[in-house]
Amino acid sequence: MLSKYSVTAIFRGHLSTMYVHDNGNFSKREAIFFFALPLLSPIIQLWSDLHLDKDLLSLIVSAASISAGLLLNLLVLLYTVLEPKAEHAETSTQVLERRLIKETFYNISFAILVCAILVATCLLRGMNHSWLNSSSEAVIYYFGVQVFISLAQILKRFHKLLQCKIDPHASLSGQDQSKGMSKIAAVPLPETFSR
């Protein structure tokens, strides 16, 4: 019964987008950047004794809620507008486009989840229990930085997708189309986290 509320598939899908483009192996550097770098924010917050007041908490809740709503709309746009239509056998560009759409979907879903966690933690912090304050503030700072990293990642991927729609001769891989496309298209998607 609880399996329908599990978010592990979203987390695994997001992790599956962290791979080295040359060989398809899991990228530890990207995972460290995405999950360990935001730890600096609560460490700095605790060290400098910064605290969130009610106005700032309200602002964070509003910003995270609006971001989650916009990201949900972006998911709909991704599904309706950018889904490549395969009339015949897919070209390497269509394979890359489908892969990028799938990865963007996972990243958007994860960012929505992070926004929801951020809102819930802000609401807990708003209760103003002394034993909740420092731990909830650390979580807010951590996920706040993660939201920004996620949004940057989504923006970059969505920009690449729209660039390809606007200019069909643009390379999805960011490399020279003649050199990089076949190399990247040949790399299988990592299945490490697909269970």
Query: For position 22, what pLDDT does the model report?
Result: 78
Greatest pairwise CA separation for the chain in angstroms: 62
pLDDT higher for 28 or 94? 28
Structure confidence by residue, pLDDT tens digits, 68-100: 999 999 999 888 866 656 566 677 777 888 888
- Whether residue 10 contacts residue 193, with contact meaning beta carbons closer than 8 Å, is answered with no
Structure confidence by residue, pLDDT tens digits, 88-140: 667 777 788 888 889 999 999 999 999 999 999 998 888 877 777 778 889 99
Tell me: pLDDT of 186 over 50: no
Query: Given 3-state DSSP classes, what are the helix, strand and coil percentages for the chain, each rounded to the nearest 5?
Result: 70, 0, 25
Query: For position 65, what pLDDT does the model report?
Result: 95
Alpha helices, DSSP H, located in the chain: 8-16, 28-35, 40-48, 54-80, 92-126, 130-166, 177-185
d(CA 103, CA 182): 19
Query: For position 177, what pLDDT does the model report?
Result: 41
Query: For position 145, what pLDDT does the model report?
Result: 95
SS3 26: strand
Compute CA distances 184 → 24, 56, 175, whole Å: 9, 44, 10
Q: Which of 4-18, 70-84, 113-127, 168-182 has the lowest mean pLDDT?
A: 168-182
- Whether residue 142 contacts residue 41, with contact meaning beta carbons closer than 8 Å, is answered with yes
- Whether residue 155 contacts residue 144, with contact meaning beta carbons closer than 8 Å, is answered with no
Domain boundaries, the chain: 53-185
Tokens for 33? 């950047």
- Average pLDDT for residues 163-182, to the nearest whole number? 60
Query: For position 82, what pLDDT does the model report?
Result: 65
User: pTM for the full model?
Assistant: 0.80
